[in-house]
Amino acid sequence: MARYVSLSQINISHTDLVRLIVIFSLTLCCIAITVVSLKGNIVNISAQLFFFPLLYATYFYPRWGVFLAGFCAVAYEILAYVNLFPDTGLLIYATGQAILFICITVVVAHFTEKVNRSEARYRSIFETSLLGIVLFDQNSFAIRMTNNYLSQMLGYTPEEFTSMTLPRLFVSKDDQRRFFEYLGSSEDVINFETQFISKDKEPLWVNLSWRRVSDNLVSCSVIDINKRKRLEQAAEENYIRYQQVTESSPTCIIITSNQKIAYTNPAFQNFSGYDADELAGQDLLMFIHNDDRADFLNIPAQLENPDGKNNKVEYRFLSKNGEIRLAAAFFSPIQQKGETSLLINLVDITEKEQLKEDIEQVNERSRGLISTVADELRTPLQPIMGYLNLLTGDPQAYGVTEETRVILDRCAKSVDHERQIINQMLELSVLDAGKIPLNYSTFSPERMVQSIINAGGYATKANLTIDIPSNLTFEADPGKISTVIESMLSNAVNYSKPPRKIRISYQSGTSDKMHRISIQDNGIGITNTQLDEIFEPFKLPDSGNISRKYDRIGLSLSIAKKYIQMHGGYISVDSIVNLGSTFTIHLPKTRSLAVKTNDA
């Protein structure tokens, strides 16, 4: 770092101060020698002495050198006139010498400034270059100079570089040997990729290009390509992993170009029965069932059109042994070798489809069996209910005592309860078959809740709080929504602990897409394990309690769930054991397409 000296509030570097002293001393010496020479009539010596301070000053300070030349010319001219007058010839000679001072100094200053500008330009390029630059000796490989970018790249200071040789930076001995071979070939080299070692002992990928500046001096540019090489290595590793994944994937993978098979993985080869060589280059349509080929040909156009929808995602394929196999297909356009190709993922659903058909047949038989059993159970209940109503309606005519009538009333309630269970079994069977339609209309949920409470007498059984806007309307099937709410309310009352506190509230905002009606109780609660089971038929939250303290059939929640799913909604449950449960009905605000309950 340069040191500075303050002179009359002017900061001047120590180097400049020394130079100015040298120039001033030389100028004074020249003037003194000139005085002595002129007095001793030694004219030839005195004039040339002034070129020493002039050239020295002009080299370091070109403009100030010109001013110094003018000063020296005037001083020399004055001394000449004082000592040589009236010798006209010598005076003319002295004047010529003074003019020569100025002319030579101007010429030297011009070329010095030109050289300095060129040197400054190249030094600026050297220092501010966006790539590393190193100058080294071809014979000794000693580093002569480096720029700041190379210091930042490798972490060495310029002083540390000048004490090193270039081969010391190489990581690989083989790359170092190749570098020597190229350097000895006397040819300029570009794009030599190798690894340099940084000061922190970290390898760094670089690209070297060099050329000779002189017989022994070589200029070498160093480009940091570490990020690119790391990305290339990562891409190569990803490609290897991708190959491993595709080769071991249980999903069939096909890549086609212009409908020709470019690649298949082993899973598709096992799926089709063909080996890789038999599939390569073949038209994929050859392996698709004739009835599905037309749909398959539309796939590229549908992929190009964002609004296009491929409604058919399952295709039948022909295996080598003539078997028809079913697969779910997923398509993605990809770029491969600069061309647009099609990536197809196939999931073999042949066995799944057969299993689905078998399950559907079993379900159909089960629904038929339930319907038959329910009908057979309901038939004998009709006369039982008739006789019980007859006996309890006119007990005196049939000699029924009061105690017997009470017993018969209990029997009638049990039979009616059994009839409700049978009716719900039939209803659930019909729901599973998807044969119940939705009859949409607009209604007030607040009035519906009030009607349910009044009809069921729930206000006498529990402390009810209703928080539903009176101006709120739903667009849904009112009969089915009424069944759902009544089922939820009945469960809340039956499962709550005295004093029974039930809250029915509407909790949906204007920006929500769903209506939300919550029914909160202070009952026994439901465990996390039971939450997954309560909507299944014949499941009871207190099933572990043999005493069946809480009276509840196991079908109402299953029916409620299916009714809400048919509307495109769902039911959520939040519950804490021994504190209570909250059942929330989520119903779309806008009319949606009916959803089959078995798709939920």
Task: Identify any residues that bridge with 264 across adjacent strands, giving them in sequence order.
Answer: 254
Per-residue pLDDT of the chain (600 residues; tens, 9 = 90+): 445 566 656 667 777 788 888 888 888 888 888 777 777 666 565 677 777 888 888 888 888 888 888 888 888 788 878 877 777 877 787 788 888 888 888 888 888 877 766 666 656 666 667 788 888 988 888 998 888 889 888 999 988 998 899 999 999 999 998 888 888 776 778 889 999 999 999 999 999 998 887 778 888 899 999 998 888 888 888 778 877 777 888 888 888 888 899 889 898 988 899 998 999 999 988 898 888 888 887 776 666 655 544 445 788 899 988 888 888 888 888 877 667 888 888 888 877 656 666 656 655 665 565 556 556 566 676 677 776 777 777 777 777 788 887 787 778 777 766 666 666 666 655 656 556 778 889 999 999 999 988 888 888 888 999 999 999 999 998 888 888 898 888 888 888 888 888 999 998 888 888 999 999 998 888 887 777 677 766 555 444 443 344 444 456 777 788 888 888 899 898 888 888 889 999 999 887 544 443 344
What is the C-alpha separation between 452 and 443, in angstroms, rounded?
A: 14
286 DSSP 8-state letter: G
For 437, the token pair is 């339609």
Tell me, what's the pLDDT at 551? 42
Cβ atoms of 465 and 503 closer than 8 Å: yes
Q: pLDDT (tens digit, 9 = 90+) per residue, 64-120?
A: 888 888 888 888 788 878 877 777 877 787 788 888 888 888 888 888 877 766 666
438 DSSP 8-state letter: P
Residue 412: count of CB within 10 angstroms of its CB: 17
- Write down the CATH number for the domain with range 354-432: 1.10.287
3-class SS string, 43-61: HHHHHHHCHHHHHHHHHHC
* 499 φ/ψ sector (left φ>0, alpha ψ -120 to 50, else beta): beta
pTM here is: 0.38
**Distance spanning both ends of the chain, measured CA to CA:** 79
Tell me, what's the pLDDT at 222? 92
Residue by residue, DSSP assigns 56-113 as: HHHHH-HHHHHHHHHHHHHHHHHHHHHHHTT-HHHHHHHHHHHHHHHHHHHHHHHHHH
| Check whether domain 129-230 has CATH 3.30.450.20, yes or no | yes
**Do the strands 132-137 and 252-257 form a parallel or antiparallel pair, or are they unpaired?**
unpaired
What is the C-alpha separation between 356 and 598, in angstroms, rounded?
A: 12
Tell me, what's the pLDDT at 198? 92
Phi, psi of 254 (to 5 degrees): -130, 135
Supply angle C-alpha 354, 358, 360, rounded to 5.
115
Q: pLDDT (tens digit, 9 = 90+) per residue, 365-406?
A: 655 655 565 565 666 766 777 767 777 777 777 777 888 877
Residue whose C-alpha is closest to residue 419's, from 464, 443, 383, 458? 383
- Provide the residue ranges of all domains of the chain, joining segments of one domain with +: 4-127, 129-230, 252-348, 354-432, 441-599
Cβ atoms of 57 and 82 closer than 8 Å: no
The domain covering 441-599 belongs, at the CATH homologous superfamily level, to Histidine kinase-like ATPase, C-terminal domain (3.30.565.10)
User: CATH topology of 252-348 equal to that of 354-432?
Assistant: no
What is the C-alpha separation between 181 and 79, in angstroms, rounded?
A: 67
Residue whose C-alpha is closest to residue 300's, from 257, 264, 347? 257
CATH of 252-348 given 3.40.50.10490, 3.20.20.70, 3.30.450.20, 3.90.79.10: 3.30.450.20
Q: pLDDT (tens digit, 9 = 90+) per residue, 36-70?
A: 777 766 656 567 777 788 888 888 888 888 888 88
Contacts 24+ apart (CB under 8 A), 551-556: 551/494, 552/491, 552/494, 552/495, 553/417, 553/420, 553/421, 553/424, 555/421, 555/424, 555/425, 555/428, 556/424, 556/487, 556/490, 556/491
Task: Identify any residues that bridge with 573 across adjacent strands, giving them in sequence order.
Answer: 583
